[in-house]
Every structure is written in structure tokens, then in C-alpha cells.
Amino acid sequence: MPTENHNSALDNLNFDNRFIRELPGDPEPDNFRRQVYAACYSRVNPTPAQQPRLVAYSKEVAEDLGLSAEICESDDFCQVFAGSRLAKGMEAYAMCYGGHQFGHWAGQLGDGRAINLGEVLNQRKQRYTLQLKGAGVTPYSRSADGLAVLRSSIREFLCSEAMHHLGVPTTRALSVILTGKQVVRDMFYDGNPQMEPSAVVCRVAPSFVRFGSFQIFTARDDIDSLKKLVDYTIRTDFPELGEPSIPVYLDWFKQVCRKTAEMIVHWQRVGFVHGVMNTDNMSILGLTIDYGPYGWLENYDPDWTPNTTDAQGRRYRFGNQAKIAYWNLVQLANALYPLIMRAESLQQALSAYTETFDAGWQAMMAAKLGLTMFEPGEDETLVNDLTQLMQAAETDMTLFYRQLADIDVSAEANSPAQFLALLQRTSYEPLSDDIMEQATRWFAIYCLRSQRDGRLALERSSAMNEVNPKYVLRNYLAQLAIDQAEQGDFSLVQELLEVLRHPYADQADKQSFAAKRPDWAKQRAGCSMLSCSS
């Protein structure tokens, strides 16, 4: 049980807690695993940490919340955001939701190891929900212990902030704090459990409502609770749409489709693979949520998934993310149908996803190649030929696009030598004669297309460097930071956090963070594929 409030700077946060004030809650006060009906949440307190110790915090998120560096580096900050103390105004609860996991309905899921502390209104009246991941058991924990390990907590913390600075819609992370407790985890579910340090991440987002939050009520034929949650979500997060009604429900669903499409376009732009696109991991705000066994493409492979659980079917592979997002939206449409009762209207609303994604993908690919606009037909062939080349050559996606900006594509250059050197430099295997011939042909077509586009060299390279990052959270870099942190050294976590704050800048003293994956990392645990164990 967290300690009682006492006077501190954190007690001055302005909590509003509209979610639990306006939505139906679980009447059962005790914290035991159970099915929860006709409720959006259950009240539950975090499990106090034994010896909380700060690993890192995000200064930008802290500033948004009105928290100074002095506060964030205080013992009280560790106590509150490790779950040992509830600050004034905090009302802790876990959310109820269901979901489709790997394409199959899984029934009730819920916040099994996430506990919301409440909703803060900052000085600009922006609403942020503070959520602790790894803070103990809840009624939704099923057979798990509700805790999270340091390795997954560092990965979530760093990736949340890296994605934000890349311009990808995402939840944020305020802090990661060690609890002082050791927990047992079988990282690859192979019968080799080990003791690992546990930690708590404080996630931050305007809302943590998911597709599955609506699905659970429709699956149980609880249309009254479904309507309450939909109306609340519109009034709170989409107030510009007006008072809830059937036309507004449809407008809202279109908005969700558009926001989801925009998020997926950004994932494809930077080479991010979520790994677990279950419907309970899809944010109603179009934010990247629930950073589990995610990964970043290194050698370009549209069939790659970072999730060991998905290794056979590869449902959530990089090249399938756009289709899965659409499939998930169809499940959301099915959940909303009892409020709308217009299948054709919902199908039309779904077209907003396809239209937004197609237009966004075309604009994104044109930008990555330094073109002012995408010319359908011609540029689709150009992109398809390039991705086939990159896959055959095992080309590092991030390095290739970033360095392509420096290649001379003018008529005067008229030589593929620079491009072939770039391709060899950014690929993980030597180039065969066939690949070199393929590359030479592609580069000639690309040069002609770029010349017709008419951009000056400096304008082209500057524009490309604004959308093609130099630094991403490569899997092996995250693992190196975790290795050090597990020995009590958080310096690499801090250094990575700082580098990833400026992913598009040329940071002269940080070139080692913009290098190809080393050979030793190709198959090492944590550097290639991961499980959901955390």
C-alpha cells in the first residue's frame, strides 16, 4: 500500500481524473484476479518499491508537466513514480479492455501490469494521463506478477522518447526507476528462467484508451457501457466534432482511421516494427503504444518481425503493418456497429484509412528520395525496384537513405561509382555482379527522375535529411545500454537519450551511434528478436 500524502512539489500537480469521475467503475474494492463487467476500470494501488532508484527521466516530458530538474532528481520523485507514494490528487486505477491477439479474440485482457495514477492538467490546460508500467498486480494480471524488468523498461523509455523526436505519433515516457526487487523471467520461454532487476516506467499520454476498450463491451453485449465510453472519448479527446450522435460517431471513426494511417506511414518511414499489433495495443488517438518486442529494420527486409512469438506466421512483419492496422480498424468498426447500425457507412468511413495511408505513403517515399512530389506509376516502379535492390543487397535502411542525400544526381556527374560505393558501404554482404548491374540501372533512372524534378543539390539534400534520420534506437545499442544498466551504470542510457533527442542532426562526436549493426549483434539475444517476456 503506497504511503500517505505529505507536502512536496509533486503534491502541487493539478489532477483532474475525469476518466474515473465520468465512467463506470468496478464496485469491487479488493485487488484479486477476476473478470470485471460493466466497468471501464478497477481502483487499485501500486505495489510499493523496496529501494527505488532513478535510472533516467525525460526533461521535455517533465517540463510539459511543470516539473523541474530538482524535483525529478529528488527522492520523492522516485517514491511517487516507482509506486511507493501517491501524491495529492492521484487516484490509482487499472483499465478494463479486451482484444484480438494474433488475429484471435482473447476476451478480457486489461491493464495487467499498468496502473494509472490519474490525469494531470498542465498550465496550458493540456491533459496527460500518468501511468506506471510494472507497478504490481491488478485484477487483470491473470497469472502474471504485474512487474516489469529493467531491460524492457529501458527499451520502452528510450524508444518512446526516440519516436517522439523522430516525429512519430507516440506515447511518451517520463521516467524509468529501479524498484530494488529481483523477479524471475524466462526471456525466450525456453525453460531457462533467470533473476532480473525489476523497474517501473512512467508512461505519459493524453489517453490510454485502446481499440480493445470498446471491443470488450460489444463482445459482452454491454451496449450501455460502450456508449458511455464512446461519448466520453469524443467529448474529452475529440471535442471539435461536437456532441455525440450517430453522424458524430461516424466522423470520429473516420478521424481514428486517419490518425492510425498517419502513424503507420511514420513507422514505415523510419523502419520501425511494432511487433505486437494486437487490437489491445492500438491507441484510439493514433499513438504508438505498448513498446514490447519492437525492433528497427537494419538490413532491409519487409518480412522481418522482431517478435519470437510471431516468428512462424510473421503476422506483424514490417511489410504487413499497413494491412494489419486496417484489419484492426475493421474490428473496431464491428465493435462500434451497435451504436451506429449502418454497415455501409462504417465501410465508407474505413476508406479514410486507405486514402490517408496511400497518399501519405506516396508523399513519404517521394520525400525520402528527395522528390518534390510522387508521380504514380513511374515512381511506384522506382520505389519497388529500389526496395527489391535493398533487400537483395541486405542494405541498412537508415544509413542508405541518409547517405543517398549526399550523392550527386546531376547530369554532369553521369557515373554510378558513387552510388555503388554507397550501396556497398551500407550493405551487410558483398555486392554480387547481378546486384551491381541492378543498382546501376536503378541509379540511372533515379538520376533522370531527380533531374526532371529540378531541385538544386543543396535543397534536395537538406529536404532528405529532414525526413531520413541519422540516428535511430538500433536494437544492439539499446541492449548495450541495458547491459551497463544491469551493472548499475546508467551513463549509456543517458547518452543514448541525448543523441536520440536530435535524430536528424549531424552530431560530430556521436558517429559511432550511426553505424551498421556489428556482426556479433546479428543473432545475440535482445539485438535481433525478442519475446513478450518482460
Provide the pLDDT for residue 532: 61
Provide the pLDDT for residue 457: 94
Listed in sequence order, the residues at least 6 apart from 369 whose beta carbon sits closer than 8 Å to its beta carbon are: 382, 383, 386, 404, 446, 450, 464
Asked if residue 466 belongs to a domain, the reply is no
Vertex 454: Cα angle to 409 and 471 (nearest 5)? 55
Last residue of a domain, one of 194, 211, 228: 211
Provide the pLDDT for residue 282: 98
| 103 is an annotated ligand-binding site residue | no
With a cut of 50, which residues of the chain have pLDDT below it?
5
> Which residues on adjacent β-strands are paired with residue 210?
283
**Coil/strand/helix, residue 354:** helix
- Is 280 among the catalytic positions? yes
Beta carbons within 10 angstroms of residue 429's beta carbon: 12
| 210 is an annotated ligand-binding site residue | yes
| 17 is an annotated ligand-binding site residue | no
Q: Are residues 67 and 201 in the same domain?
A: yes
Provide the pLDDT for residue 170: 98
Asked if residue 484 belongs to a domain, the reply is no
Q: Are residues 408 and 262 in the same domain?
A: no
Whether the CB-CB separation of 336 and 249 falls below 8 Å is answered with yes
Residue 521 DSSP one-character state: G
Provide the pLDDT for residue 533: 53
Q: Are residues 149 and 93 in the same domain?
A: yes
Q: Residue 252 sits in which domain range?
A: 244-362
Last residue of a domain, one of 313, 341, 362: 362
Last residue of a domain, one of 211, 235, 263: 211
Asked if residue 405 belongs to a domain, the reply is yes
Asked if residue 426 belongs to a domain, the reply is yes
Q: Are residues 356 and 378 in the same domain?
A: no
Q: Are residues 331 and 269 in the same domain?
A: yes
Provide the pLDDT for residue 522: 83
| 113 is an annotated ligand-binding site residue | yes
Asked if residue 463 belongs to a domain, the reply is no
Asked if residue 233 belongs to a domain, the reply is no
Catalytic residue among 111, 231, 280, 396: 280
| 112 is an annotated ligand-binding site residue | yes
Whether the CB-CB separation of 47 and 122 falls below 8 Å is answered with no
Q: Are residues 347 and 377 in the same domain?
A: no
Q: Are residues 192 and 84 in the same domain?
A: yes
Q: Are residues 58 and 165 in the same domain?
A: yes
Q: Are residues 339 and 410 in the same domain?
A: no
Provide the pLDDT for residue 412: 84
Asked if residue 165 belongs to a domain, the reply is yes
Provide the pLDDT for residue 7: 67
298: cell is 537494419
Using CA atoms, how far apart are residues 134 and 197, in angstroms rounded to an integer?
12
Q: Are residues 358 and 378 in the same domain?
A: no
Provide the pLDDT for residue 411: 84
Provide the pLDDT for residue 190: 64
Listed in sequence order, the residues at least 6 apart from 19 whose beta carbon sits closer than 8 Å to its beta carbon are: 40, 41, 93, 116, 119, 129, 207, 232
Q: Give me the number of domains the chain comprises.
A: 3
376: cell is 504514380
Using CA atoms, how far apart are residues 135 and 133, in angstroms rounded to an integer?
6
Tell me the pTM.
0.96
Using CA atoms, how far apart are residues 279 and 100, in angstroms rounded to an integer?
5
Q: Are residues 116 and 264 in the same domain?
A: no
Asked if residue 473 belongs to a domain, the reply is no
Q: Are residues 58 and 154 in the same domain?
A: yes
